Amino acid sequence: MTQTIAFTRIRAWLAVAIAALLLAACGGGGSPGDVHPGTDPVLVAGEPNAFLLFPNPQVQPDGSLQTNTAAYAEAYYAAIDPNNTKDTFAKWKTANGFDTANGTQVTAVFGDTRDLGFGRRVTGRQNPDGTLAFFVENYLVKTGGSYAFSPINLEAAIVRDPKSLVYLAAIEFSPGPAGGVSFAKFFNFNVVTGVREPMVDIDGRGDKAMPGTCLTCHGGRADALTPPDVSGKPRFSLLHNVVSRTRGDTQGQLPPFEVDGFQFSTTPGYTRAEQEAFLKTMNRMILCSYPLPAPSAFPEDACRRPASAGEWQGTASALVKASYGGDGLPNPVYADVTVPASWTAAGQTSLYTTAIGPACRMCHILRGTGMQSDIDFTTYEKFQPYADRTYATVVNRGNMPLAKLVYDLFHASPGEETLANFLAGQGFAARDASGKPLRPGRPIADPGPDRVLRQGATRLSGTDSLYANTYAWTIVSAPTGAPAPTLTDANTAQPTFNAASDGTYVLSLVVGNDSAQSAPKLLTLVVNNALTPAPNAIRFSNIKAVLQDGQKCQGCHSPTSPLPAPITFTNDDRDGDGVAGTATDDAWYYAEVRSRINFAEIAASELLRKPAGLHHRGGRGEGFDTSAAPGQPARAKYDLFLNWALNGAPQ
Amino acid sequence: MAPGADAAVRPAASPGSPWSLLDRVQIDLGYMYDDNVTRGRAADEILADQLLALNVSAGATLRINDNARVVVTGMFTGEKFHAYNGLSNLSGGLQAELQYRQSAAFDAVTFGAFARGWLDNYVSHLRDGGHFALGVNAQSAVSDRIAVSGEFAWNRRSAQSEVWDLDYYSARLNLDYSLGRSGTFYLNGEYRRGDSVSDGRPSLVNVSLAQVFVLDDAFPGKQLYAYRYDARTWVATIGYNVPLNSQASIDVSWRRAQATPTSRPDFDVQGSLRYVDNQYSLFLLMVF
């Protein structure tokens, strides 16, 4: 009996022991604060994620984004380096004279706190022939979580930690394959093999194609490729306003180093005081790449070539000069410029210092041409008319600021408030019901632009709506006495509208996602069965006829124009075979015009906005008065262009 | 004969009964000064603290036959840190050990196989969780003054934060030298191979070594990150146990640990990657 009790107690002890052992073996599962080095930033569903991608990514009929394809990058490399003489980092360095005795070569190391967040080791070189080359070792210590700068990245750049070297970029400013004036060329090399690569993942948000990921903030254009020529391969576009007359000259520029935005180490040899001279040397080199709009006797301008009217005017040179004390660059240390007078005079000092300066200036200052420079935002008067696009891109779409880190910093800064104040003052609903600035990510309905169409079935499109996965179309009004119009597939992005009678119809679209519904957005459709040509019959020839109507467009959009435009509408020898106006020339002409349609946001297409007088040196063209109702003669050509674009811009 | 070590005095089971319950109870009460509670590597990462500790253990023995028995020991410990209260903790657990001794000869070796588990509750919740260990040991008297023992164990710890999800092997060797009534001098050496945890600044070196890291809630305001890494750790203890009477003794010891990461970053590192920790303790041991 005693022994039985004893064994029972022992079993109880053992049971407790086993239970304790099992409990002890249970894992905690990890805490939310745990960080695993090497993991990429966490993507948050529903947040904007189109960073480093051109606002017009050249959507193709199959839905692909042409500027973000390897084919686009390959065409670019083929244009700037047709014989692959720079297809590895080693060959590129040799071609640019690195580590040779002649020329000037300096290296600077800093933390890029407000651009891409890397620790950066930049080596710049100016050769005796005036060519420039820079390569940048970008270091990122991946610690998962949110995407942000960390001083550890700077440490990695100082010690050149190979595990943290994530991106090896290079830019050279040199003549094209056939010689001529120098222009900027962008390269991306594999950090391990050194092989030139077409795609790059800069911000942990997936691969993006060269050179677009660079050009987004280097001032260049990313027009669509031109169709295959006799080589069978599509060729990189030829911009008509570049002095080099070379494919691959995207008008991309070398941005200056904004030293005040960098973080420096306290490690001897890498302090700001010790890096300043190197950075000034590089900024002086970069200044040499900027065209000079007016003669200058200052020594730092002696290396600059005269600017042509149709190209970028070296606008960023003013920033470089001002930051080093003005002409002559007298100051050894960089100091950011004061607020430009225009902004102060407009009472927008705060807007400039909190929003434009930190989040917009560096990319925009590299844009614009001598003919049309308002996109550079150097004055308030240039910025203010862009309020609609600012609202669309910053508040609604979330593709500006166009780099993730800058985007995050902007929305965490007072700049968000000051921009909301500005936009509210311009008549835009920039705040929510509680008064907070609106942010991208909420569903926004976009039923497309108001338009004129014929009787019968017309497919509508709400695919430009934002952050939406549900669609609800309704007919709000129809002409009195008209047969009731029909709307099929009204709960899809692309319903079919069918009206049997002329008149004005108003529809409404509400979109939603898993968390919210949008405000309704109205769409006015003017049905006119006498419309000619019918919207689905519009072809490029109809568009071309408008573009080539006398000198209305061709007066400037011609290779012989004294006021050169970025695109020509004349029948040029685009393929360079010696004969102008061939079928190949026409196919390339079509590609260039189609390139100015933004199929990701039709209403933002330059083909529609420019002739409508928006940021167009030529003002508003006849037939492009968008203040008139659809179908009115005053906007007949706009309607023609719009319907062509809405129909996919068939050739 | 360090605090928490198995009591040397083990009353035999009652005649005619294979078991004895609570055949020994040991209570240790002591003070310790730890010059590196963060297990930090660099000077600005090292924090010192002092603590009071209470260990209570109680055991039961099941006699299987003349050569084998099962010893079950319940353990409870509490530590109260002075400056960094996040390290203060209460732990409790059990150990079950099968012991085998071939004969009753003086120098016969006693072999053991054990499983040990316990639960931890820290003020720093990141550390909350449990430990589990499986191991074997052996102990023998070499002479009437000298006793040696050794142990090899596999240890696993799980916690709220993965930083303290640890996996390591340990091998320990102990030498007791009796000075008779004057007390016992002891030496203990232990080698661990596997996961270790240090606290440090968010530096490139630390991140490069870390498998996982977390902002340590035990050192609020210090911006110290605890990180786990693979290491070789040596722990040496030298101590002296002075009997006060048949049931109580005073134990003083110096424990030194140093851990060296098994891998190095791919770049030049200034200084050593090793941490060194010294613990000085004074305990009152009571056996009932």
Question: How far is the CA of B141 from the CAs of A339, B12, B104, B144, B240, in angstroms?
Answer: 86, 19, 12, 7, 18
Q: Which two tokens stand for residue A469?
A: 């996965």
pLDDT at A452: 97
At A6 the pLDDT is: 46
Q: Partners of A109 in the beta sheet?
A: A121
With respect to residue B7, please indicate whether it lies within any of the assigned structural domains: no
Is residue B277 within 8 A of residue B47, CB to CB? The reply is no
Three-state DSSP class for residue B45: helix
Q: How many CB atoms lie within 10 A of CB A239?
A: 22
* Residue A33: closest C-alpha in chain B: B214
* B5 occurs within a structural domain: no
Asked if B61 and A14 touch (Cβ cutoff 8 Å), the reply is no
**What are B9's two structure tokens?**
């005095």
The DSSP secondary-structure symbol of B190 reads: E
Show residues of chain B in contact with A142, CB under 8 Å. Answer: none
Tell me, which fold does domain A451-527 have in CATH? Immunoglobulin-like (2.60.40)
Contact in structure between A514 and A479 (CB atoms under 8 Å):
no
Query: Tens digit of pLDDT for each residue in A532-574?
Result: 999 999 999 999 999 999 888 999 999 888 888 889 999 999 8
pLDDT of residue A28: 54
**CA of B217: how far to CAs of A223, A341, B196, in Å?**
53, 50, 18
DSSP states along A194-214:
-BB-SEE-SSSS--EETTHHH
List of chain B residues whose C-beta atoms are within 8 Å of the C-beta of residue A16: 74, 94
Euclidean distance between CA atoms A429 and A173, whole angstroms: 44
Chains A–B, number of C-beta pairs less than 8 Å apart: 132
- The single residue listed with the structure tokens 């979330």 is A398
Low-confidence ranges of chain B (pLDDT < 70): 1-21
pLDDT reported for residue A585: 92
Tell whether the model's pLDDT for residue A520 goes beyond 90: yes
Positive or negative: CA dihedral A87, A90, A95, A98 = positive
> Residue A566, Cα to own-chain centre: how many angstroms?
18
pLDDT score for A55? 86
Residues of A in contact with B265 (CB under 8 A): 161, 163
- Evaluate the CA torsion angle B148, B154, B160, B162 in order and state its sign: positive
| pLDDT tens track for A185-241 | 999 999 999 999 999 998 888 899 999 999 999 999 989 999 887 778 899 999 988
Residue B112 lies in a domain: yes
Output the pLDDT for position B7: 39
The 10 Å Cβ neighbour count of residue A19 is 12
Chain B nearest-CA distance from A22, in A, is 8
Of A401, A405, A348, which Cα lies nearest the Cα of A378? A348
Closest chain B residue by Cα to residue A1 = B17
If DSSP states are collapsed to H, E and C, what string results for A314-325? CCHHHHHHHHCC
User: Do residues B29 and B284 make contact, with C-beta atoms less than 8 angstroms apart?
Assistant: yes
Interface test with A, best of B204, B217, B263 (most A CBs within 10 A): B204
Q: Which amino acid is at B208?
A: S
**Distance (Å, rounded) from C-alpha A10 to C-alpha B70?**
10
Residue A50 confidence (pLDDT): 81
Average pLDDT on A452-461 reads 96
Mutant choice from B207, B228, B263 vs A, greatest count of A C-beta within 10 A: B207
Per-residue model confidence as pLDDT tens digits over A344-403: 999 999 999 999 999 999 999 999 999 999 999 999 999 999 999 999 999 999 999 999
**What pLDDT does residue A12 have?**
54
Range of the domain at B260: 19-287
Average pLDDT over residues A106-126: 95
A39 to A116, A167, B245, B262: CA distances (angstroms): 17, 16, 59, 22
Long-range interactions of B95-104: CB distance < 8 A, separation 24+: B95/A17, B95/B71, B96/A14, B96/A17, B96/B70, B96/B71, B96/B72, B97/B70, B97/B71, B97/B72, B97/B73, B98/B68, B98/B69, B98/B70, B99/B68, B99/B69, B99/B70, B99/B71, B100/B67, B100/B68, B101/B67, B101/B68, B102/B67, B103/B67
Q: What percent of chain A lies above the pLDDT cut of 70? A: 95
CA separation for the pair B230, A21 (Å, rounded): 25
CA–CA gap between residue A321 and residue A301 (Å, rounded): 10
Q: Which helix (H) or strand (E) holds A148?
A: none
pLDDT of residue A29: 62
Measured distance CA(A174)–CA(A170) in Å, rounded: 13
Ordered DSSP codes for B248-288: EEEEEEEEEEEEEESS--SS--SS---EEEEEEEEEEEEE-
Q: What are phi and psi of A407, to 5 degrees?
A: -60, -50
- Residues 231-250 of chain B with CB under 8 A from chain A are none
Confidence band, pLDDT 50/70/90 cuts, at residue A22: low
Cα–Cα distance measured from residue A169 to residue A160, given in angstroms and rounded to the nearest whole number: 15
Residue with tokens 């005081």: A273
Domain ranges for chain A, please list them.
66-263, 349-435, 451-527, 535-646
Non-local (6+) Cβ contacts of A208 within 8 A are: A52, A53, A68, A199, A200, A201, A202
CA angle A132, A134, A140 (to 5 degrees): 170
Closest approach of B117 to chain A, Cα-based (Å): 4
State the pLDDT at residue A47: 78
Longest pairwise C-alpha distance within chain A: 118
List chain A residues with CB under 8 Å of B118.
Answer: 20, 24
Residues paired with residue A493 on neighbouring β-strands, in sequence order: none
The pLDDT of residue A154 is above 80: yes
| Residue B117 touches partner A, C-beta closer than 8 Å | yes
Q: pLDDT for A257-302, tens place per residue?
A: 999 999 999 999 999 999 999 999 999 999 999 999 999 999 999 9
Look over chain A and give the mean of its residue pLDDT values, rounded to a whole number: 92
The predicted model scores a pTM of 0.88
Section A456-482 average pLDDT: 96
User: Nearest CA to CA, how far is A8 from chain B (Å)?
Assistant: 11
Q: Are A166 and A190 in contact (CB under 8 A)?
A: no
Average pLDDT over residues A87-97: 98
Domain count along chain B: 1
Is there a contact between B100 and B112 (Cβ–Cβ < 8 Å)?
yes
Axis-axis angle for helices A636-646, A540-547 (nearest 10): 150
Q: B13 in a domain, yes or no?
A: no
CB contact under 8 A, B18 and A6: yes
Q: Give A188→chain B minimum CA distance, Å.
A: 23
Taking Cα atoms as reference points, which of A243, A222, A178, A190 lies closest to residue A68? A222
Residue B13: predicted pLDDT: 45
B3 assigned to some structural domain = no
Give the CATH number for residue B196: 2.40.160.40
In chain A, the residue whose alpha carbon lies closest to the alpha carbon of B270 is A159
Record: contact A141-B267, CB cut-off 8 A = no
3-state secondary structure of B25: strand
Judge: B267–A7 Cβ closer than 8 Å, yes or no: no
Write the residue in A2, A6, A25 that is nearest to B130 by C-beta: A25
DSSP string spanning A319-381?
Answer: HHHHHTTSTT---SS-------HHHHHTT-HHHIIIIIIIIIHHHHTT---SS--GGG--SHH
Residues of A in CB contact (< 8 Å) with B are: 2-3, 6-7, 9-10, 13-14, 16-17, 20-31, 33-37, 141, 143, 150-152, 155-156, 159-164
pLDDT at A15: 58
Q: Taking CB atoms and an 8 Å cutoff, what residues of chain A touch B117? A: 17, 20-25
CA dihedral A646, A647, A648, A649 (to 10 degrees): -90
Distance (Å, whole) CA A612 – CA A623: 8
pLDDT value at position A564?
82
* Closest chain B C-alpha to A200 CA, distance in angstroms: 24
Is A31 in contact with B203 (Cβ distance < 8 A)? Answer: no
